[in-house]
Amino acid sequence: HNLEMKHLPGADPELVLLSHQYKELERIPLSDMTREEINQLVQELGFYRKETPDAPVPEEFQFAPAKPLPILLHPQALTTDGKTPPKRDKEEHPDL
């Protein structure tokens, strides 16, 4: 799941890992690896292997092997004691 094979004639085989924004993170050469070693590598990286091509993927593996994105807080989103301020009602203006 979340693994796409592209055959490029004349190119050495490699695994290209992309970020959630499709930016290249790493290239791993596969030429000197056996099929078993490649399967082990893919498992170690966290890819989910479906039982059959049309089998459902468990929810916890939908975005595997991607790691959850850190929650980015606005610099002023924390109070001086480092805690997140309470949520406001939609009608309440933040400046009031």
pTM for the predicted model, two decimal places = 0.60
Specify the pLDDT at position 96: 45
Q: Is the pLDDT of residue 38 over 80?
A: yes
pLDDT in the model for residue 77:
47
Question: How many structural domains does the chain have?
Answer: 1
**Helix (H) or strand (E) segment spanning residue 87:** none
Full domain range(s) for residue 25: 14-67
Structural domain contains residue 33 = yes
Q: Is residue 9 part of a domain?
A: no
- 31-60: burial string, b at 16+ Cβ within 10 Å, e else: eeeeeeeeeeeeeeeeebeeeeeeeeeeee
**Greater model confidence, 80 or 19:** 19
pLDDT at 54: 92
Q: pLDDT digits over 56-92, tens only? A: 999 988 888 876 555 554 444 444 555 555 555 555 5
